[in-house]
Amino acid sequence: MGNGRSIHILRDAWIPGIRNLRYELCAGSCNQRDEQVCQLEDQVSSLIDPSINWWNLSKVRALFNQKIADAVLRLHPSASGDMDKWLWGHEKSGIFFVKSAYRFFKTCLVSDCGEPSNGAMMKKIWNPLWGLKLSHEVKVFAWRACKKSLPTKANLINRKLDISGQCCCFCQHQVEDLTHALLLCPPVYEIWVRKFTGLQHDFHISSFISTAMEIFFKGSTNELTDFFLMAWGF
Ligand SMILES: [Zn+2]
């Protein structure tokens, strides 16, 4: 990590051991997330005291629970204020290669074949997803969303993790599973309907991957790109 200016606190995977900070915070306490959401929608540099090029300890401790704060404090911001550097986690060198990403997705595809119904759809989405003009972070996100392997509250509960309830952090009404979080939560759904007006008539949402397939086959590659990019932003 460098000066933290190009790293978004919530959207980027910058804390070792924490894949999705938004969900980690949500799993801990919805209230905390609501109160501090403005500060969290900032760059990591906002957590660094520029006079000493080190973490603003009181801010880090106030924003995060102990586990996350400790993980943050183990990171060393650049003492000389260098730019941040992105490392690809699936190569020891940290350097991103197209071949490496291809291998990673292929592994996911093979491991998904154990689930026949979803596996068939995963194979169909493989080529379109791979060919999209998206960053590798968004492709990994899209792939995991299609596989339903994002850390939603429903998934965390399935893995026996102790979280403070299963309701969606935004609407507080429905169980936060992947389809709800990325598609059906009312404010999110409203955005989808506005964006995909041409598909609205036939817009049957049953799962993230089937919606992606529907958009691809009835829409276009550009629309599928927008679909994944927008979902990534939620
Ligand atoms: Zn909701």
CA of 52 to the centre of ligand 1 (A): 41
How far is ligand 1, taken at its centre, from the CA of residue 173, in Å? 6
Q: What angle do CA 38, 25, 162 make, to 5 degrees?
A: 160
Single-letter residue type at 75: L
For the chain, the average pLDDT equals 79
Compute, in angstroms, the gap from residue 152 CA to the centroid of ligand 1.
Answer: 12
pLDDT digits (tens, 9 = 90+) for 98-120: 677 666 666 655 554 444 456 67
Q: Is the pLDDT of residue 204 over 60?
A: no
* pLDDT of 56 strictly over 90: yes
d(CA 96, CA 227) in angstroms, rounded, equals: 24
The percentage of residues in the chain with a pLDDT greater than 70, rounded to a whole number, is 77
Read off the pLDDT of residues 153-187 as tens digits, 9 standing for 90 and up.
888 877 777 667 788 888 888 888 888 899 888 88
Percent of the chain with pLDDT over 90: 11
CA of 175 to the centre of ligand 1 (A): 8
Where are the domains positioned within the chain?
Answer: 1-86, 98-233
- Taking 80 as the threshold, does the pLDDT of residue 67 lie above it? yes
| Whole-angstrom distance, CA of residue 133 vs CA of residue 126 | 14
Cα–Cα distance for residue pair 33/176, rounded to 1 Å? 15
Integer-rounded Cα Rg, in Å, for the chain is 19
**What's the pTM value of the predicted model, to 2 decimals?**
0.53
**Cα of 193 from ligand 1 centre, angstroms:** 16
User: Distance, CA 172 to ligand 1 centroid (Å)?
Assistant: 6
55 and 9 Cβ atoms separated by less than 8 Å: no
pLDDT the model gives residue 150: 86
